[in-house]
A and B are shown apart, each in its own frame.
Chain A
Amino acid sequence: MSPLISRKIAYNDGMKILVIEDDREAADYMQRAFAEAGHTAHVAGDGDSGFALADAAEYDVMVVDRMLPRRDGLSVIAGLRSRGNTTPVLILSALGEVDDRVTGLRAGGDDYLTKPYAFSELLARVEVLNRRAPTRESETVYRVGDLELDRLSHTVRRGSQEITLQPREYRLLEYLMRHAGQVVTRTMLLENVWDYHFDPQTNVIDVHVSRLRGKIEKGFEKPILHTIRGAGYMLKAG
C-alpha cells in the first residue's frame, strides 16, 4: 500500500468494516488492504453469516457483494434496514448497468461500485461513507486551513482574498471541502458534482480540478488541493 493511502486521520482511524464477499481471495485481499490503511475488517463468506454478523455487532461501514451464496446481497441489506440497522453500505457488483445501480441503491445501499474496481477507489468511498465521519451537511461555513467557503452567500475566500468561481467550480470545491482530509476519486466527483455515472474517455475531471486548483492556489504559498497518485484528490491544509 502506498503510504499516501494509508494515512491516518482521526475519525477514520480504525474503522470497523464488515466485508460480505464470497470470493475468498478478494475478501482476503480487502482485509489485508483495509488493515494496511489502518482499519479492521471482518469477513463473512455468505449472505446468512453476513446478516448475522451485521445484526450482532456495530460496524462503521459494510461492503456487500451483490451476488452471494445462500442469501443475496440486496436481500441482506433490505433485511438489515427493516430491522433499523442504518450502517452505511457499499454494494459491490459485477452488474454495473444503469438500472442495476438504481435497484441496488433502492434496496438500501448508500454507494455502488462495479467490479472490477481499484482498491483505492473502494477505500476512498468506504472512508467517505464512514458512519463516524462528521456530517458537515448542517455547517454553513466550511474551513480548511485558510480556505473558507460560505454556503449561504456562496462566497469563497482564502485568507483575506475573495476568489470568484464558476457555479460548477463552486460545487466541486464544496464537495472537496465537505470531504476535506479524505481521498476523493474522479468518479466520485463525476457522480456527486455532475450527477453522472459513466466513464468519460478523456480525463475531463482532471482538467476541471486543475482549473479550480489554479484559482485557489495561485498566488498562495501553500498547496491545499493535493493529487493522490493512482487514487484521486484530497483537500487538506498544510
Chain B
Amino acid sequence: MAFRLPAIMKTTAARLSALYLLLFALCAVLLVFYMTSLSARMLMVQTQETINEEVLGLARAYQRGGIPTLVRVVEQRARQPGANLYLLADPNGQILSGNVQSIQPGVLQREGWTELPFSYERYGEVAGRRTPAGTEKTDSEIVTEERHNAIAVVLRLPNQMLLMVGRDLGEPERFRDVVQRALMVALGMMGFGGLLIWYFVGRRALKHIDGVSEASRRIMAGDLTGRLPVTGAGDEFDRLAENLNVMLARIAHLNDGLKQVSDNIAHDLKTPLTRLRNRAEAALSGKKTGADYREVLEGTIAESDQLIRTFNAILMISRLEAGYSAESVAKVDLSAVVHDVFELYEPVAEELGVGLEAHAAGEFMINGNRELIAQALSNVVDNAIKYSAGAVEAPHVSVALKREGDEIHLLVADNGLGIPDEGDRKRATERFVRLEQSRSQPGSGLGLSLAHAVMKFHNGRLDLLPGNPGLSVLMSFPGSKDE
C-alpha cells in the first residue's frame, strides 16, 4: 500500500495520537518550565548569598585597615580563578581597582542590589587559570574579554568611594540553555515517536477500514452473499466485522424471504384472483336466474375470504420474522394451550374418523404469546388430521407435551402417509411450499410456515421428523426447569 499520509491523518487513531502527543508535549513543556524557573531562582539566591559573604569579608578588611587593606584584598581576590567581580571606583564612578574593565553605564549610580542583570567586561587576566578539579569547565569562556551578564551589589564607602561585588550569571544561564536543549531534543523525539505510532496505528486501521469499505461496496452493488473480512485477530475490528456479518446474514435472509413472498404472492394470489374474476365474468354472460347470481356471489365471497386468509397469513409471518414487540409476550402455560387446541379439534377429528389424543400433564410455563402458540399448534394439528384422515386404516393423531433437558417438546405425531423424502420434509416449512401429495387438500400452504415462524419467534424450533409410520412435527420451546 502506498504511503497515503492525508488518508492516514484522517483516521481516528491518528487524530487521537496527535491529540495525545500535543497534550503530552504541553505537559512536558510546562513541567520543564516550572523546574527550570525553580532551579534558576535557587541559583540566583545562592549567588546573592555568595556575594553577601564576599561583602562581609571585604567589610571586615576595610574595618581592619581602611582603604589600602580593602584595595589589597580586592586585588588579591580578583585574581583568584573563577573569581567574583570586584570593582572599586571613585565617587564619580571612575574604576580604580578590581577585575572589571568596563561596565554598563549607570550600574554604579545606584546603591544596593542591581535590579536587572547588566553587562560588563572583565580584564584579560588569566592568572591561575589552571584550576585543579575542573570545577568550572567553561571558565575559559568567562575569562575572555567578552561581555557577560552579572548581578552585583554596589556600596558607597564612608569616604564616598564605590565598591561593587558581583557574580557572573553564566552558570544559571548555561543551566537554562542545557535544559532548553534537552527539552527540544525530547520534544523532537516525542514528535517522531508520535508520527511513527500515528503512521502504523493509522495504517492498520486504514487497512481494516479499506477492507470493510471494499466488502460493503460489493454488498451494496447487490452481492448480498458478500461478507466483511475477519482477520482472526479477535480485536475490536474483528468483533465489529463479525457482528456486521451476522446482521448481513439476517438482512440477506429477510431479503430472500421477501423475494420469495413476492414470487409466491404472484403465484398463489394470482390464481384465486383470476378464478374470482372469471367467476364474475361468467356470471355476467348468458341468461341467469336470481338463484344463479346468488350462488356466484356466494362463491365469490368464499373465494375472497380464502384470499384474505392467505393474505393475513403472509402478513403475520412477515411480522413475526421482523420481530414483535416485547409487549405481546407473557407467561403462558403450554399444557393449557394443548388442552384448548385438543378440545377445539376433537369434534373435527371425530367427524373425520381420526383418533385424537393429547398428553400434557402438569404445568409448562414459558414466556410467549398464547395466541400465536395456539395458532401454530392448531395449524400443525389441522395438518396432521387432514393428511391422516382417510389415508390409512385407523388414522390417529397424538399431541404430547414433555420436558426434554432444557427444552419443552411439543410433539404432534400422526400415522398418515408422512413425508418420506428428507428434502421434502425440510422444504415443507418454507412459505407456500405444498408438496405434491397435498395439492389436492384445501389450504394456503402457509400453515407450517406460520408455525415455523411462531417457533422462531419463541426462540424455538420446528422440526419435521419421520414417524413410524406417518409424520411427527416436533415443536421445541426453550424452557428452564425453574420457570
Of the residues B328, B347, B374, B447, contact of A201 by C-beta under 8 Å: B447
Are B319 and A194 in contact, CB atoms less than 8 angstroms apart?
A: no
Of the residues B325, B327, B340, B385, contact of A194 by C-beta under 8 Å: B340
Q: Does A45 contact B (CB under 8 A)?
A: no
Q: How far is the CB of B305 from chain A (nearest CB, A)?
A: 7
For the residues of B in contact with A, the DSSP-based class is helix
Could you tell me which residues of chain B, from 29 to 54, have a CB within 8 Å of some CB in chain A? none
Q: Does A229 contact B (CB under 8 A)?
A: yes
Interface-lining segment among A29-37, A203-211, A216-224: A203-211
Are B379 and A201 in contact, CB atoms less than 8 angstroms apart?
A: yes
CB 8 Å contact bits of B373-411 with A (1 = contact, 0 = none): 011001100100110000000000000000000000000
Q: Does A25 contact B (CB under 8 A)?
A: no
Q: A197-B371, A200-B378, A200-B382 are in contact. Are A211 and B305 (CB under 8 A)?
A: no
Residues in A whose Cβ lies below 8 Å from that of B374? 196, 198
Q: Does B312 contact A (CB under 8 A)?
A: yes
Q: Does A134 contact B (CB under 8 A)?
A: no
Could you tell me which residues of chain B, from 287 to 324, have a CB within 8 Å of some CB in chain A? 298, 301, 304-305, 308-309, 312, 315-316, 319, 324
Q: Does B348 contact A (CB under 8 A)?
A: yes
Are A199 and B312 in contact, CB atoms less than 8 angstroms apart?
A: yes
Q: A118-B301, A230-B298 are in contact. Are A204 and B348 (CB under 8 A)?
A: yes
Are B319 and A230 in contact, CB atoms less than 8 angstroms apart?
A: no
Question: Which of chain B's residues has its CB closest to A103's CB?
Answer: B327
Q: Does A96 contact B (CB under 8 A)?
A: yes
Are A97 and B348 in contact, CB atoms less than 8 angstroms apart?
A: no
Residues in A whose Cβ lies below 8 Å from that of B413? none
Residues in B whose Cβ lies below 8 Å from that of A199? 309, 312, 375
Question: Which of chain A's residues has its CB closest to B308's CB?
Answer: A116
Q: A98-B371, A198-B374, A199-B312 are in contact. Are A207 and B348 (CB under 8 A)?
A: yes
Q: Does A24 contact B (CB under 8 A)?
A: no
Q: A200-B378, A200-B382, A204-B348 are in contact. Are A98 and B301 (CB under 8 A)?
A: no
Q: Does A99 contact B (CB under 8 A)?
A: yes
Are B328 and A98 in contact, CB atoms less than 8 angstroms apart?
A: yes
Q: Does A163 contact B (CB under 8 A)?
A: no
Q: A98-B369, A98-B371, A194-B340 are in contact. Are A208 and B378 (CB under 8 A)?
A: no
Q: Does A102 contact B (CB under 8 A)?
A: yes
Residues in B whose Cβ lies below 8 Å from that of A194? 340, 344
Q: Does B372 contact A (CB under 8 A)?
A: yes
Residues in B whose Cβ lies below 8 Å from that of A82? none
Q: Does A153 contact B (CB under 8 A)?
A: no
Are B312 and A96 in contact, CB atoms less than 8 angstroms apart?
A: yes
Q: How far is the CB of A104 from chain B (nearest CB, A)?
A: 13
Alpha-carbon distance between A194 and B336 when the two chains are bound, in angstroms:
12
Residues in B whose Cβ lies below 8 Å from that of A202? 348, 382, 385-386
Residues in B whose Cβ lies below 8 Å from that of A226? none
Q: Does A154 contact B (CB under 8 A)?
A: no
CB 8 Å contact bits of A188-200 with B (1 = contact, 0 = none): 0000001011111
Are A99 and B340 in contact, CB atoms less than 8 angstroms apart?
A: no
Question: Which of chain A's residues has its CB closest to B319's CB?
Answer: A97
CB 8 Å contact bits of B433-459 with A (1 = contact, 0 = none): 000000000010001000000000000
Q: How far is the CB of A161 from chain B (nearest CB, A)?
A: 23
Q: Can you list 19 A-B contacts (CB < 8 A)?
A: A96-B315, A97-B316, A98-B324, A98-B372, A99-B327, A102-B328, A196-B371, A199-B309, A199-B312, A200-B378, A201-B378, A202-B382, A202-B385, A202-B386, A204-B345, A204-B378, A207-B348, A208-B347, A211-B347
Using a CB–CB cutoff of 8 Å, the interface residues on chain B facing chain A are: 298, 301, 304-305, 308-309, 312, 315-316, 319, 324-325, 327-328, 340, 343-345, 347-348, 351, 369, 371-372, 374-375, 378-379, 382, 385-386, 443, 447
Beyond A194-B344, A207-B347, A230-B298, 6 extra complex contacts between A and B, CB < 8 Å = A97-B328, A114-B312, A200-B344, A201-B382, A201-B443, A208-B344
